[in-house]
Amino acid sequence: MPKRYVEMKGEDLELAEQVLRDHHPELLQGDFHVVFQFVVNEDAKGLMKYPKPDKHGNVVLGKAKCYSAADRAAGCPDFLVTLLFNFWEDALDEQKRALVDHELCHCGVEETEQGDKPMSVPHEFEGFVDELKRHGPWAHQLRKAEKQLVLWRDAAGNVPTDEPDSDDDAVSRLATDPGFLKAAHDLCPSGRDGIDSVTISTPHNGKFVTPTSDTGRNIQKIRDKLLAAGAEEA
């Protein structure tokens, strides 16, 4: 799939630099040069196309590169942060901040006898403690990690329940459930079959729902968003 790299500017850059100032002052104090850019995924016709998740359902949302001393001497910045524009353009500000913060957590400072040097920091777990502290379990993998911690803590006595703990959690479980997705796919008209909507009634309580082709597309969108939010960054 063709990729295009574009400079980050305007309010996007302001948001990223705000995160840098708020949470990574050590990079500014050390006068480290961080460059932000977007990668845009497109199809063969040049239209925006969300990257296909890998077989684990993950999409790379961002990358942080730390340049070598030789590269820096040749004019490269200390760090290059590349963010997936296809995710960014639909993301909430809080998701954007969390993503920038995550990538900046990869940008570290190593104290050496010759002075501070930029260094690449690997993952501590499927995210960062600071990220979790500042933004909560905003992504699927962090929610999974959070559940693991709850299970571990409750080993002391409290029986953990498997009930959804919020509306978001309930939606996230439903929209990524293969059985639900199949039912939705089978029930919602595709829009290509000449059927605009299907009405399903439940005789025992007289209620009915009317899925349309938009319903199917919306369910798919929610699922893609959830999978993207749970994506692992490289």
Query: Which C-beta is closer to Zn ion: that of 22 or that of 124?
Result: 124
**Backbone φ, ψ for residue 94 (5° rounding):** -65, -35
Query: Which C-beta is closer to Zn ion: that of 78 or that of 233?
Result: 233
Hey, what amino acid is at 169?
D
Query: Which C-beta is closer to Zn ion: that of 99 or that of 219?
Result: 99
Half-sphere exposure of residue 162, counting CA atoms within 13 Å on the CB side?
Answer: 1
Nearest residue relative to Zn ion (C-beta): 233
**Backbone φ, ψ for residue 56 (5° rounding):** -95, 5
What is the contact mask toward Zn ion in residues 195 to 234, using x (rule: CB under 5 A)? --------------------------------------x-
Virtual torsion, Cα 164, 168, 172, 173, nearest 10 deg? 10
- Cβ 30 to Zn ion shortest distance, Å: 21
- Cβ 100 to Zn ion shortest distance, Å: 12
> How many helices (H) and strands (E) are present in the chain, helices listed first?
10, 8
- Cβ 141 to Zn ion shortest distance, Å: 10
Query: Which C-beta is closer to Zn ion: that of 125 or that of 152?
Result: 125
205: left (phi over 0), alpha (psi -120 to 50) or beta: alpha
Per rule CB under 5 A, is residue 101 in the interface with Zn ion?
A: no
Binding region for Zn ion (CB under 5 A): 233
